Structure 1
């Protein structure tokens, strides 16, 4: 009699546990969702470069001579034909050395009573009305510049438009990177050489495609799928990934714009599982 009661108790406990398990399996899974959109997937990159004068022209005396008079200072703006210094030598007498272009004196190494050489420049005239921007990029990022004529450049937190002059087809032998050059007009001469320039590249990757949050993707056995919500059930839906970025992924699959895909909770789902949709505010 005692053993019969024990066996009956065990059987009842086993049935109770099984009932609890079945009830747990039948409970809906709480998930978070986001809508499928139809959009153009774009890539946006920030490339860092440096500013430089568009051109720098060295100025050299035709003969070694004494400097008898200095007419300009370093940092001064000059026009072509302006006298920079006056020199005097036994062979040529006195003569003025003039600026060969418009620009700013960015280096100047001449003093009254000193001497200048005919083999080393005593000054440099830089055209800083137009700023030259130089950057170096990887093979992958170089492709973003192909076909571009203009680009947004951020200097001192100000957005400006620069013209792309050169995209190298071969890597620099020293760095292994591809050189990018652009020109930016600076009529106010507010941009100095050596400043950091951020080149902002935005390029359309895939136009008019279904776009889902990247976090909705589930990879299993070499294939990708998402859970699409239909009548409060999670339907496993295979997708073909066209292009995946950090936050968004362009896909092909049996879904349409406006459908809801599971972004959190999908790892405990199975095909056809009932769900309850939890708002992000509730989750936090």
Structure 2
């Protein structure tokens, strides 16, 4: 036998032995392929399903407006002599913005002052005349009292003489007439005194003086109109006036906005209007800068606009540094709590697979892979809309290496 033939026979024997050895070492018929896998359970961590109340936030467009905006108008006409403020300047309440020519008003002042002096002098004279009249009447009454007393004594004497037959009756009657006349004169003087005391002889003079005083007050008030002032503190956003221009009464000469405090105005649908009920404060954000602010609810309409079917909301916000510019838009965050709590699990416990969402539930010593429907996410919690009843314990660690039905051991947290 040749060497090559002997080599080939040897290789055939070795190959047959290898195949036989492989057949003897393989699994027996009907034995599972994973029979060699370690039967020990996998260690996991688990937690109960949570129930929380979710808050819904709606981002609504709002507009920044001045908290207060007032027009500055001219109450009188005339030529502008000085312009003290220009558009964009900060102004304080009652600060003069521009001045109007006052020559005619200064002339009017002389007339008003002269009328006031004349009325004052006339009233002083009337008061002196009244005092003299009262004094004169008092003296006349005193003299009349004395004369009446003397006549009464004389009458008493004549009456005695008449009774004694010493004088004629006509003499007694003559004395009686004089006595009655004296009494009437005294009564007339008392009537005049009462008239002076109950009437006001100075009313005409007092009326003229008061009229002159009112004219002066009117002049003083009108004089203030010639210095046009800011009605509030803020920013002068409109000011077209220049020196030499002629103003007409009622002409708008400026506009002032209060900007250290602003309003945020928004229009709410009925659903958002319901959510805003009872809220005292709301937050909002500047879209450009992302800066967050908070405003106090100062107005919430109780009825909807008949055309837009929306409700107006107004917030008041402090703006001392002027970061909120009137006319810009902000994003207002309206928070609404859900009607009832819903279930939630840590977001990392949810396994996404083939387009579905699953969690592993611990059941005694095994796990169940259960499909769920997810909802909102907040603070690393995932809302579970359906698939759980809230009594389950969810695998929170080790779920990525689990399969449905596997044996597990729950480790202590």
TM-score range, shorter chain: 0.5 to 0.7
User: What residue is the counterpart of 2:93 in the other structure?
Assistant: 78
Q: How does 1:128-277 map to 2 (within 5 A)?
A: 128=259, 130-134=261-265, 145-147=275-277, 149-153=279-283, 160-163=294-297, 165=299, 181-186=313-318, 189-194=320-325, 199-217=332-350, 225-237=358-370, 239=372, 243-245=375-377, 247-251=381-385, 253-256=388-391, 259-263=392-396, 266=399, 269-275=402-408
Kept after mapping to 2: 8 A contact 1:166/1:180: yes
- Tell me which moved more, 203-212 or 47-56: 47-56
Indicate how the Cα distance of structure 1 residues 30 and 106 shifts in structure 2: closer, same or farther if over 3 A, else same: farther
SS in 1 for 2:226: strand
SS in 2 for 1:21: coil
Supply the distance in 2 between the matched residues of 1:122 and 1:23 (Cα, whole angstroms).
Answer: 96
Indicate how the Cα distance of structure 1 residues 19 and 144 shifts in structure 2: closer, same or farther if over 3 A, else same: farther
Higher relative contact order (CA 8 A, sep 6+): 2
Supply the distance in 2 between the matched residues of 1:164 and 1:207 (Cα, whole angstroms).
Answer: 29
SS in 2 for 1:3: helix
Kept after mapping to 2: 8 A contact 1:58/1:121: yes
Supply the distance in 2 between the matched residues of 1:268 and 1:179 (Cα, whole angstroms).
Answer: 54
Kept after mapping to 1: 8 A contact 2:79/2:247: no
Provide Cα deviations, 1:242-267, integer angstroms capped at 9, x if missing partner.
x43354304453432xx531356546
Match of 2:34 among 21, 27, 33: 21
SS in 2 for 1:6: helix
Kept after mapping to 2: 8 A contact 1:237/1:254: no
Indicate how the Cα distance of structure 1 residues 87 and 46 shifts in structure 2: closer, same or farther if over 3 A, else same: same
Provide Cα deviations, 1:24-49, integer angstroms capped at 9, x if missing partner.
48564565645422221223566686
Unaligned runs of 5+ in 2: 1-12, 107-222
Larger radius of gyration: 2
> What is the Cα deviation at residue 192 of structure 1?
4.5
- Tell me which moved more, 95-104 or 34-43: 95-104
Indicate how the Cα distance of structure 1 residues 122 and 45 shifts in structure 2: closer, same or farther if over 3 A, else same: same
User: What residue is the counterpart of 2:158 in the other structure?
Assistant: none
Indicate how the Cα distance of structure 1 residues 279 and 149 shifts in structure 2: closer, same or farther if over 3 A, else same: same
Supply the distance in 2 between the matched residues of 1:22 and 1:235 (Cα, whole angstroms).
Answer: 22
Provide Cα deviations, 1:89-141, integer angstroms capped at 9, x if missing partner.
9xx9995364584341332535662537779854221133541125689x9x9
Q: CA RMSD in A?
A: 5.2
> What is the Cα deviation at residue 279 of structure 1?
9.5
Indicate how the Cα distance of structure 1 residues 100 and 112 shifts in structure 2: closer, same or farther if over 3 A, else same: closer
Supply the distance in 2 between the matched residues of 1:278 and 1:196 (Cα, whole angstroms).
Answer: 53
Between structures 1 and 2, the one with greater helix share: 2
Kept after mapping to 2: 8 A contact 1:144/1:201: no
User: What residue is the counterpart of 1:125 in the other structure?
Assistant: 256
How many residues were matched structurally? 264
Indicate how the Cα distance of structure 1 residues 25 and 7 shifts in structure 2: closer, same or farther if over 3 A, else same: same
After TM superposition, the score normalised by the length of structure 2 is 0.46
Supply the distance in 2 between the matched residues of 1:147 and 1:265 (Cα, whole angstroms).
Answer: 46
